[in-house]
Structure 1
Amino acid sequence: MTLTRRVSVIVPTFDRLAMLREALACIRDVEGSGIQADFEILVGDNGLKEKTQLLCLEYGAIYVPAHVRGPSSARNAAMGAASGDFLAFLDDDDAWVRGHIEPHLAYLDAHPEHDAVFGQAIYTDPDLNPVSAPWPAAPGSGDDLMRNMLSGVFAQIGTVVARRSVIDSIGYFDTRDMGAEDVDWLLRLATKKKLGFVATPCVLFRGRAPTDAQERLRIRFARQVFLRHALPNALRLWKSPFDMMRSYHKQLFHFYQHFTQKAIRCAENGSPGDVVEALKVPALYLPLLLASEFVQPRPLRTALLAAGRRWLNGGAGSPGWIVRWRSDR
């Protein structure tokens, strides 16, 4: 049987050879599972070039150097070299599961008005052991889909298959949006009502604890992407400014949790300065949400009150001036 479809698989990488090997192996495994298409793997690399080239040769992948740091640049370089009818994506630290791709191709065949379709991801631990059910369950369509995507529903890029013509219609990934470039790219499709969904598990999404520096950077760009897409479409997506604000809070809530949970840990084990540092980000980006923590006896308020009593009594983490004041009494 002659295969007439070609799927160009875009894999950005940067100095993670062991994970890249797993990613390339799982792509070839999906290709060999009976799917009626052949795969062209393009590895966009802005890291260890010689070693990555050798690994690409081993898996029959095309090596594409990217001369600017960041996953957007690596993806864009690979997309520019793609020759397939369709584009699929996989980050080098994630893994596809069998059953991916074919439902997406069938969906695009049945919906010529759509340029791309995404499926479901499964959160895993660092060893790719699943820790969640497939998500999202039912993200909606049209304006409902876009509103949900601006309210915390995350379309993971590894679940996406797009027509290659999408490059002409919406362009490449924005290299300025570090950590939010995939959300921006998919929202461009959702704005045009060109994005569909299939309830099919597609990718194992490897979980790793982010650093504070990473989250500070990501929340800044996530906010920019939200405003970029929300403001021009606000009148058709939300009934009131309060509804839009609720979506904004949902979109950034996982960043909020990261820093408020750190503030609780610092209140229990650290100093007032550590707590203040942890709360700077939520105070800057989500001040109303942070203020609501102090209206009711929530964990953050409880932890801060307990820490305040401990510090005033000269306990662990007390500022030096309180310790000196108590010793002079």
Structure 2
Amino acid sequence: MQDGPRLVSVIVPTFRRPHLLRGALASIRRLEDRDLAFEILVADNGGACENRAIAEAFGATYVAVERRGPSAARNAGLRLATGDFIAFLDDDDAWLPGNVRAQIAVLDADPALDGVLGQAVGTDPDLKNPSAPWPERHPGVGDALLRTMLSGYFPQLGTLVVRRRVRDLVGLFDETLIGGEDLDWQLRIARRRTLGYVETPCMLFRGRAHGTYDAIQYDRLAYDRLVFFRHSVPEWRIWPSPLAFLRAYQGTLQHFYWYFVTIMIAAASRGQKRRAFRAIVGALRVFPVRATYHLVARRDCRRALVQMASMHRPI
């Protein structure tokens, strides 16, 4: 029988968003009780002077990180974690009351498990208008989970609770990745260890205003493609056929494709020629054949192309 509260190390990377960090830390502390305690590690590679004071106000350890990127921040926290379990939360998201305890209960019931995933709830930029919890169904175990994760299921890191041994068995986040680093780390766990799942809404995932991060999407596309091939090719045995592999690849990148298509149509209708052009290029970079076909065959895409071509301002 466990004596005293379970200690969970919670790593919170942050970058120049003190106005959001406070809410994230508050959502963590709200879960504490006599059975559960948190060692919060705020890893800051943005250098915002307010962040140290905010971290200290919530009893968190503040860690200044010189290297840029979320991987470097998470690694700085991972190295200092002393809890029996490790969890994560980005500074712009929030935990829900059902988080952590549900995963620990599953881990206690099965010592062979190294970590447990839960459900995320998408919201608007104000953490309002929540969507249905996802994934909607069990993502599978073993090879089935690996196939799901390589076919478009991106587990939100804020729903994952792992045993501390995972840090030593799997290693740290890849600091060369500017995007897809969280999926890469979770895929390494899924390939080498055993992950479970609990059907419990665990966190609020803050959405961004549509079209506010076009440039980031171009970078993330390249990194997510790299992560897919890094893990899918060595695990070729899990694919029943080359067609299944191709469908998985399409599933991994399709959200980028539809992002660019949506931006293309909206930008063209508003007379934003440069932005519409970049969105077309983005869609072609994701799926060249599909994008070419849609520009010809889909009425809304064809109209956007014509609108853009008729604009007189230069690209």
| Same fold? TM cut 0.5 | yes
Between 145-154 and 46-55, report the one with greater CA deviation. 46-55
Separation (CA, whole Å) in 2 of partners of 1:67 and 1:272: 39
Range 261-270 or range 142-151, more displaced: 261-270
Residue of structure 2 in register with 1:245 after alignment: 246
Contact 2:47 2:64 in 1 (8 A): no
How many angstroms does 1:299 deviate by? 2.7
Could you tell me whether the CA contact under 8 Å between 1:122 and 1:205 is conserved in 2? yes
| Distance of aligned partners of 1:80 and 1:271 in 2 relative to their CA distance in 1, 3 Å threshold | closer
1:98 maps to what in 2?
A: 97
1:284 is matched with 285
Closer/same/farther in 2, CA of residues 288 and 23 from structure 1, 3 Å limit: same
Alignment of 1:310-329 (within 5 A): 311=310, 317-318=311-312
In the alignment, the residues of structure 2 paired with residue 128 and residue 274 of structure 1 have an alpha-carbon distance, to the nearest angstrom, of: 27
| Aligned equivalent of 1:222 | 224
Instruction: Determine whether 1:300 maps to 2:292.
Output: no
Q: Which residue of 1 aligns with 2:271?
A: 270
1:146 corresponds to = 146
- Tell me the distance in 1 between the aligned counterparts of 2:304 and 2:208: 26
Residues of 2 paired with 1:307 and 1:126: CA distance?
A: 29
TM-score, normalised by the number of residues in structure 1: 0.88
Query: What CA deviation, in whole Å up to 9, does each residue of 1:274-327 have, x standing for no partner?
Result: 54332212212321331342564353134335666xx3xxxxx1468xxxxxxx
Amino acid at match of 1:66: V
The 5 A counterparts of 1:1-329 are 2-32=3-33, 36-48=35-47, 50-138=49-137, 139-209=139-209, 210-234=212-236, 236-270=237-271, 274-294=275-295, 296-305=297-306, 311=310, 317-318=311-312
- Range with bigger deviation, 123-132 or 270-279: 270-279
CA distance in structure 1 between the aligned counterparts of 2:313 and 2:38, rounded to whole angstroms? 61
Q: How many residues align?
A: 310
Compared with structure 1, are the counterparts of its residues 14 and 274 closer, same or farther at alpha carbon in structure 2 (3 Å cutoff)? closer
Q: What secondary structure is seen at the aligned counterpart in 2 of 1:119?
A: strand
Distance 1:108 1:2, change over 3 A: closer
**Residue 160 (structure 1) shift:** 0.6
Q: Taking structure 1 as reference, are residues 298 and 183 closer, same or farther at Cα in structure 2, changes over 3 Å only?
A: farther
CA RMSD of superposed structures (Å): 2.0
Question: For the residues of structure 2 that align with 1:271 and 1:92, how far apart are their CA atoms?
Answer: 32
Other structure's SS at 2:107 match: helix
- Give the Cα separation in 1 of the matches to 2:168 and 2:162: 12
Per-residue deviation, 1:2: 4.4
Gaps of 5+ in 2: none
**For residues 120-156 of structure 1, what are the alpha-carbon distances to aligned partners after superposition, in whole Å with 9 as ceiling and x for unaligned?**
0000111111331000022112111111111111200
Alpha-carbon separation, structure 2, partners of 1:38 and 1:271: 51
Which stretch of structure 1 is more off in the superposition, 208-217 or 93-102?
Answer: 208-217
Q: Identify if the C-alpha distance between structure 1 residues 95 and 273 changes in structure 2 by more than 3 Å, giving closer, same or farther.
A: closer
The answer to whether the 8 Å contact 1:8/1:82 transfers is yes
Q: Distance in 1 between matches of 2:299 and 2:170?
A: 44
Alpha carbons 2:170, 2:192 under 8 Å: kept: no
Q: Displacement, 1:96?
A: 0.4
* CA radius of gyration, larger in: 1
Instruction: Give, as a single letter, the amino acid of the residue that structure 1 aligns with 2:170.
Output: I
Other structure's SS at 1:179 match: coil
Structure 1 pair 212–297 and aligned structure 2 pair: CA distance change class (3 A): closer
Q: CA 1:208–1:169 in structure 2 vs 1: closer, same or farther (change >3 Å)?
A: same
Q: What per-residue deviation string (whole Å, max 9, x for no partner) do you get for residues 87-106 of structure 1?
A: 01110100001111111001
- Take 2:140 and 2:91, find their aligned partners in 1: how far apart are those partners? 29
Note if contact 2:276-2:308 (Cα within 8 Å) is conserved in structure 1. Answer: no
Deviation at residue 204 of structure 1 after TM alignment = 0.5
Given that 2:256 and 2:286 are in contact with CA atoms closer than 8 Å, whether structure 1 keeps it comes out as: no
- Specify whether residues 149 and 294 from structure 1 end up closer, same or farther in structure 2 by C-alpha distance, changes over 3 A only: same
User: What SS is found at the alignment partner of 2:172?
Assistant: coil
2 CA distance for matches of 1:295 and 1:114?
Answer: 50
